[in-house]
Structure formats: structure tokens, C-alpha cells
Structure 1
Amino acid sequence: MFPSLPRLTSLFNAAAVRELSTSAAQPKARMLRTNRGSLRSKLVLALAAMFLAILTVNEIVGHVVISPEFMVLERSSAIRDAHRVRAAIEGELEHFKDLNQHWATSLASANSADWNNTNLLWACIVDSDGTTLWLHGQEFDSDPTIAKLLQLVATSTSNKQSNDNSNDPSGILRTENSCLAFFSASPIPIANPDSLSTSPASRQLMVGRKFTANFLARIREQTQVNFSIQPPKQPNSSDSMVLWETADALMVEFPLPCVPIADISTAASSTSDASEAAPQPSSANIFIRLPHQIVSRADHTFSLARNLFILGSVSAILSLLLILQFLVVSPLNCVRDHFNSVGVDGATPSPLALDCDDEIGDLSRAFDAMIKRLNETQQQLSDASQASGRSEVAATVIHNVGNVLTNVNSLIDTATNRVGTLRVEPLQMLACQLQEPDGSPELMQATPKYLEGLAIKWKSDKDSLAEILATLNDNVKHIHDVIRDQQKYADHKIEYRTVDIASVLSDAIACCEARLNENLVRVAIIGDPNMTAIGDASLLLQTIINIISNATQAMTHSQPDSRTLTIKLTQNSDDLHIAISDSGCGMTPETLARVFDAHFTLREGGTGLGLHFCANTIKQLGGSIHATSDGMNQGSKFVIQLARPKTNSPHPSDTAATTHHRVPS
């Protein structure tokens, strides 16, 4: 009934040879050219990307590192200019104080002071009692600011120690008519202090000089800084320096060492030192405007360097491309054409005629050596392929037979359990009692009825055992069909016939009946099973058995009342679809992507050949198969698509009938 072992070996060899011949018959189909761009274009893109990266880094360095450093340098230069201007004005103030002391000394020696050509606004002698003798500019006597200043000088005169000139009032102030002026007060020495009843330091000479345009021009020339004196624009303290930027220049603002009116009033009403008073807003600030020369020159220099770098880089890239075209791209094109002629067009291998002593020449010589080596190993590869083919066929046969043997074992266990439940002992006891001479009449009367019931029970057991043995016989026949179908596959003589789908589904459920019953799986068929398709009934039966076995295994950990195997049948004018769904553990997207790969399995002890066989078989029958799942614990679905036979009769519409199958326990 079964083929012998030598016959199976010959079948395996035939399958391997057929597989090799099929692979060799389509060499060009497996060596498709894929145009992914030339080496030259890739080099251009790589160099362009590198060039853009360098430009990007260059711009980032320019804006993040260089420009801020030049701005700091420009601000430092502006601060130095501001300090230089302030020092020059303070030096002029010290010079004016010295000049005032000279004038005071001249008055003490009865020499008349020369007020001409000194730009003095006023000159007066102030006594400690507040008496003022105007020598020049008496019109300022009505100026409130000058009046407060005279009061300050009188107060300092009364508190002044003899020959102490360190705290002589001096500074810069703004008069009532907004005129800026230096002022200074110096004590007038007394030639013969013994003849006087008052203190020698009781009088002071207080003078004021206007800020003239010539004075400001001289300071600008001396400091080489262009500045102006204006009312404050930025809120600041009396000693702070403020920098801000405009569109084309850097502005520096700092206060003049002016004595505000509030300070004069405070000093006049208190004997405390003026330097300890709280700072007051300045009445005049110095403004320095510095054009962005450093930053603009730096930007210009940086832009020039960048343009030269771009020009040099483009020239270098073009030169490099020409060199690569001559030294690399052209020889590689020759190598590529030769490889295509041998590998794709099937030309006879011949040596590469490249006059190169570099790595490309080494590549051509290595190619010749590779062709020689490939010819030597081709036979070894053929032998290995045959052995691999025999192993693949043997593994497939073992897997399919193993599925059937699993059902056979379940049927044998069921039959054994049924035989163990046969009630033979009570019948033996009845026979012993009937053999007794003094048997009771009631026993004799009840015996026919008991025997009748026992006969009915045994008949039911007989029918059940007969059904199990019939199913067992079908499974044994299916093992024979597996080996016979493998012979067809090896000989490449599959006969395509019209397959009755109802018969295939019935046989598949019957073969898996014991295992379905053991796992409490409910089978539901949706649609009219009376459909036909083009294919091989035995191969389609093996495929459906494989899918049902996997689905049953996937539902072993589900709740017993939710274990349902659904087979849905649909058809259209050309195709028939068999969708087999389970309520098992489901599959992840990663598992779905490899579910039909050979030797891929997530089940311990699995071979990974069942679904791989299904995919190959359905493809061999001219159909297709695919799997879907909504995720873990969401079940899985396998859909088989087969061609329908071509008939002139109208196609019946899909029905919605549902048939439920439950294996009786």
C-alpha cells in the first residue's frame, strides 16, 4: 500500500532535480537590474553635501563665534573712548581749579586778575557770612542755581580749616538758561592775618567758565573721539555708562560730573560731605556715536574670504570630478558592462582587458579568478542543492504525516476509552445467577428487559466505535495520500481538476475531529459549501488540515466557551475564497510578516514547515493565501483564494447560510 524506502529516496531526488531545473530556467528573472544612480552622480551629491556642510559650519562659526567677538571688541573700544573723553574733561576741570587758585593768589597780593580771554561767565568773592562781591558777570546774581551755589560756597567757607584746599567746591553745572559751565571756588589768602579778627580762610574766589564750541573741539581733537553733550536719553545713575545700538552705529552715553541743583540745595542745608549724598540724575550727558566700522569690516573680510573659499572649492570639486571620471568611473563602467554581459546576458566569461595597475586592475583580475573558482564550485553547489531538496521534501512529508498521526492518536485514545466503558461485568454476574438452581422468579422475569437495554447500549457503542474506526481508516488513507501527492509533486505531474469544496471541508473536519473534540472547539461554516474550484483535492485537503491544526493549537489557552473555528466561503465570477478564522492568541505584525517563512515558528517543538507548505501548495495550485490578525488575543484569519472553473452557467450568488459542526462526545 505504501511506497518502499528506495522509492521514497528516488522521489526526493526527483523533487530536488526539478527544483534545480526550475531555478536554472529563469536566471534573468532573478537578476533584475536596479538603476540606483551612477557612481559619478553619487560622488557629485556627496561632494555637494560636504560642501554645503562646510558652508553651514562656516556661517555658524561666523555668526556664533566671530561676529560676537568683533562686537565685544567694538564695545571695548567704545568704552575706552568714553573713558578717554571723561578723563580729558576731568583734566580740564582740574586745570580750571589750578587757574582759579592762581587768580585767588593774585587777588591776595593786590594784583588785579585778568578776566579777559578766559571765557569766564562770572567771578565773585564770597564771605563766610554770605556777602558776595561781584567782580564779573553780575547778571548771574539773579540765577537761582548760582544763588544756591553761592550759599554752598559760603557754608564751606565757614567750615573750612586754614590752608585746606582739598575740598574746595568745584564741578560742572547747568545754569537757569541751560548753559553748561565749569565752576571752582578757592580761598583768598590774607597777607597779614594777625591784623584781622576773622579767620584767614573766610573769603573764597568763585568763578565759572562756559563750555564753548572751541573747548569741545579741542577735547575732540585731543581724544580723537567725536562726541556731543545733550540732555539724558537713557535713565541711569550719575556714574553709570549705557551702550545701545542703532542700525548703523554703536551709541555710548555717560553723565558729565555735574552738580545737580538738588545736590547744591542738600549741601547748603547740611554740613555733610557732598560725596556722601545720594546720586541724582545728571543734567547733561556725553553721547559718543561710533559707526560699526569694526563689525562691518569684519563682515566684509569674512564675506570676501567665504567667496574665495567657495570659488576655490568649486574649482577643486570640478577638478576632482574630472580626475575621478578618468581614473575611476570609466574603468568601473567597463567592469560593470563586463559583469552584466556575464551575469545577466549569459555571455561566456572572458578576461577583462583593463590596462590598470591600481585597485580596479586588481578587481578585474580577481573577477577572472572568481569565475574560475565558481566553475569549480558549481558542481559542489548542485550536489548540496540536491541534498537540501531531499531534506526539505522529507521534512514536509514528516510534518504532514505528523499532523495526521496526531489525529490518529486522539482517535485511538477515544476508542480505548469507549471500550473501557463497556459493561461486561454485570453480564457475567447475571449469567452466574441464572445458573443457580434456586434462582428467583423476579430475576428471571427482569432478565429479558435488562438484556434488551444492554443490547441497545452495546449497539450504540458499536456504532460509535465503527465511526471512530472509519475516521481512523480515513486518516490512514490520508497518510497514503500525502506520500502519493509528494510523488506527484516530485514528478511535477499535478492534475488540476474540479474540486468539491464541501467534500474537502468535510474530510478535513473529520480528520481533525478527535483533536477538535478534545479541545472543545466549535466549528461554524458560513456560506454555501456546495462550491467548486480548480486544483488538487488532496493537496487542498492537506493545506486546510494544516490551518485547522494550527488554529486548534492557537485556541488551547482561550476560554472553552469562546473557542470557535469559523470557515467562511465566498465567491465571485472568477475566484473562490475560503476564510478560516479562529479565536486564539492572534499574531503581532512582526509575526505576520514571517508567518509563511520556512522554519519560522513560535511554538515549542514546532518545525515551521506547516504554513510554508500551505503557501507553496496554494501557489502551485495557481491561487494565493494571506494571513491577517488584529493583534494579540484577537484571533487570526487565513484566506485562501482559488480559481473557479469556467462554465457558461450563471454564477450562483453568495448565500448567508451557516452550518455548525460539533463532534459528539
Structure 2
Amino acid sequence: MNLRLKILLTLIAVFSLYVVIDAAIQQLVIFPRFVSLEQREASQNLYRCQQAIQRDIENLDFFVHDCAAWDDLHEFTADPTRRVGAERYIDTMFRDTNLNLLAVVDTDGNVLHRSFRNVGDSEPLDSVVFPAVQWPLTHPLLQHKSTDGPPHSSSIGGLLMTEYGPIQVASRPILRTGGLPPINGTLIMGRFLDEKVVKSIADQSSVAFTVTPLSVNLTPQSNGSITPQDRDVPIAITEIDDERLAVESMLLDITGQPILRTHAMVYRNITQTGRVAMRYALGSLLVAAFVVLTILLVLLQSIVISPLTHLSDRASHIGETGDLGVRVNVRRSDEFGNLARHFNGMVDNLADTQSRLIELSRRAGMSDVATGVLHNVGNVMTNVNVLSSSMSNRLEQSKLVGLKKSVDLLRANEHQMSEFLATDPRGQKLPGYICQVTDHLELEHLEILQQLQSMSTNLQHAGQILESQQKLATGAQVIESVRPKKLISDAIGMLQASLDSHDVTVSVRCGNLPEVRMDRGKVIQVLVNLIANAKDAIKDIDARNREIEIDVTLSETEELRIEVVDHGCGITPENMEKVFSSGFTTKPLGHGHGLHYCANAARQMKGSLTVHSPGAGLGASFVLSLPKNSVPEAV
């Protein structure tokens, strides 16, 4: 994952987390405030409708108060002779004020006047709530004596349930002008709380307001509580759907008993507005986040990512190609500018160091090659010494001494040669002995010639090794076409005397493979080292198992594969990785240069040298793999 993607994902994660937290705050903190506000507003709407009913009752009470202080009404209740004129006035007032109830009751509960009918209807209505003849003194509208304060301030008003529905009523004591006693009776007025009134209230308050009468006792009795407005009535709020709320409560009658269920349906404008506002807020937040994210990415791209990408590309190019001529072009005075300058300085130092290392490596390579050359020449000289020692021993044990004695004997008897050969027992045996010695000397001559030829071959190989070193030092390379079988034969021939001295046999499996092109001298040096190591690994085991196996094949990929196998001392696991290291050896008199040279030579010829061993005492297998056309690399 590149830096740009990491920064992008990090910024997206941070902004996403912020958006989620903001949305959670809106949903868990802000939106409940809208809901609470909406519920308060809904309760307030229902309360306003109830207050409208209460205001109607208060207005009715003000009117009753004015009428109850009318002197003619006071005289009407005190003097029956004046009732005819007063009743006409009362009837006119009843019609003009759209009342449904107007009653005048004396202090004993006797009904002096009672008008109870629908507006526009002349037929009176019967009711147990408002009797036509006698009202019980316990009627709640007659309880002015039980109220506190002066008589003119006594007021009883509220709701009562009748057979025809709820009615708004107000009651005042009948006094003289100025509210002076005595109380001659009670004036009661009322209007039905019908659908028309409820609709008018709903229209005024812009609320879908309705009332539902409850089943109550229609013979109200006073229980001493005539101020139900002081009681708190609970309000129930129910969600109808996402757009509407239902608000319910109750209205109490004069005695404080529930009489009406009030219901208001309120549209959820506040929460809808809150949702819209929250959506706009969330949308604006997302837009702002996108804009900020885009600006940050653009700034990061130009300020941070582009210089880092440029620096990374230059570093990758140097790492892939090794071209230390590349420089970073960042002309800035900030940290990236300092980094670019330090990077360029580091590359300059690396270039200088590389130049010195190349020179040191070349010298070290030449030193390693020289060490390998000395090692290989040492191997050749060992073979020459073995051949020389063998020939010296052969000459010391030669039959030539016996032949010389025979010649001396013949010379001593040269004047009587015939008699000596015929009669002397020594002379008689001498011809046969000379023939035997001659045959033996002839065989000895052939063996010495072969050993001299082998010595000559080893000396020629030593010359080739030195010549190869000179060519390597001057950069010259000699590629020859050779047959693999001849390569193996030449390598074995150089070591034949040493192999014979340790009773080691070599079995070669090599078909009629075609010629290959490679550095013959270098390949023979590698093979001589491998065969010599194999010989040293098996020279101390049972003579019957002293065998080296060489298997030569040509793979389908045109790769020459030479495997040298022995069944000797093997290699321990801890030494497997150190086999080809310079200076590593397990031989008492070894120097550790042979296999190191072989591995380097194989790499120079674009090949490889590998080793496998099951473990100590289980033998080892070295595999030299070379391309069919092997062109060595310069050191």
C-alpha cells in the first residue's frame, strides 16, 4: 500500500468517524430536543384550546356579574309584584345573548325564572341538572355562602354535564348595585359546549381540537370543592405517525370530576423541520468534508507525496540499475529540500565508495585467482612429484643392474665365448636370463614413457594454468570446442598416479555427447579439484569402496551437468553452508582455496556448483552445471 493511499484512507477514516459522531450527536442529543420541544408545543396547543373554553366561562361570568348587580333583578327576587316586567327583560336578554340557560333561584332553592332551551328554539328543555321548580340547596351552583371573601366576589363557574351535552355555566349571587347585601338569590347563565363552539375554538387556535363527553352522574352534588381549575390534569401524547401527534387530556366539572376528554391532533412540524435541518447539516458536513479532504489531498500531493515519490523513484532506480549518476532535483528550503541534498550527497559518497570498492574487488579477485592458481599449480606439482617418485623407485629396482652383471660376465669370457656358453653352467643360463631381462626392461620402458607422458601433461596443464592467469589479468579469454568425455579423461589422467597410489578407481558414465564451447583449462581445473577432493574423502576407507563416480549429462535446456560422487567421510550439516567459503577446510594440511576457486570459476562461466551430503560418513555429491556455450565473465 503506497503512501498516497494510506493518507487517503486515514483522512477518510477520520472524516467518517467525525461524521458518524456528529450524526450520533444529532440523533441522540439534538433530535430529542426537537421531540421534547414538539411535545411541549403540542401540550401547549391543547392547553390553549382548554384555556379558550375557560375564557368563554370567564366572559360568561363577567356578564353574570354585571347582571346580578342589577337593582331591578334584586327587586325581582324580593317583590313578586314586579316579576312580570322583569321577566320580559330577562327573556329579551336571553334571546339577545344567545344563552342556552338563564335561571334565577332564590335563597331557598325556589326557581323564580328558568329558561333552558336551544338557541333559536322556543321549546324548553327538561333537565335533572337544572330543575324547573326547586333546586337542591346542595347544587354546586348555589354554594356562594361557602366561598371565602365578600359576597360580590363570590363566583362559581365551570362545566357541567347535562342530558344534552356539556354546558358552560356561571353563577353569581344577586346583590344590590355596588355589590351590597343582602343576597336575595342566585343568577345562573350557561351556553352549551357544542360542536359549533368547539369548531370555533379549533379555528381560533389552528388546532384540530375535539371533545368527547364522559359518562358522569347527571345529578351533581357539591362536595365543597368549587375550584377545579387548581387541579393538574395529566396530558397523554401519542405518536400517530411521522407527521402527526395525538394529545389528550381531561376537563373537570365544577365539582372537580372528569367530564370531557379533550383531544388535539398536532402536525409534527417541529420534528420535520428538525429532520430537514439535520439532513442539511449532515449534507453540508459531508460536502465540507469532501472539500476539505480534496484540498488536503491536493496540498499533500504537492507538498509531501510528489517529493517523496520523486525521491523513492530515484532510490528505486539506483537500487535496480546501480546507476549512481542519478540525482534528486528538489529545489526547496524545507525538510524535503534538506533530505534531497543529503540524499544527493549520500549518492556521491556511494559513487566514490563504489569506485574504490570496484578497484579493491578487482584486486581481491585477482588475489583470489592467484591463490587458486597457486593451489592448482600445487595440485599439478603434487602429481609431478608422485610421478617422479614412482619413476625413481622403478629405476632403483630396475633389472638393468643384473643385465650389467651379465654383460660384465660376457666381457670376462669373450676370448672363450663359445666354450663358456657351452660348458659353463652360468654361460648356459645367461641367454635365457638376458631374454627375460630384456622383456622386463621393455615393459619398464613403456611404463616409464607413460609416466613421463603424464608428467608432461601435468606440466603442460601447469603452463595452461599460468597462461590462463596471464590471460585473465589482461582480459583475454580462450573459448574452445571440446567433448565432455575428453574433458573428464584429461582431468582423470592428471590425477592417475595419485589415484593409483591410493587404490582409487574412477567410473565414468558419459554418453556420446556433442561438443561444447567453454574455457577448457578452467573446467579441467575445477574437475581436478573435485576429483582430488573426492579421492581425499575416500582414501582412508575400505579399499573395496574406494570408488569415485562421475556422471555427465546434457539437459533439455542445453546445460552440461557433471556430477562427482564419493562414498567417503561426507559433510556435516553445520559445514554445508561453509564448504565454498575461502579458507574453510576440514583437511589437516588443507588451505581451503580449492572449492572456493571452483565456485567462483563456475559463476564466471555463468554456471553453478552445488553440493549435497546426507551427513558425516555418508559421502557427498558435487554437481557442476555449465551452459553449453559458456563464455566466462571478466573479474
**TM category, shorter:** 0.3 to 0.5
Structure of larger gyration radius: 2
Higher relative contact order (CA 8 A, sep 6+): 1
TM-score (norm 2): 0.45
TM-score (norm 1): 0.43
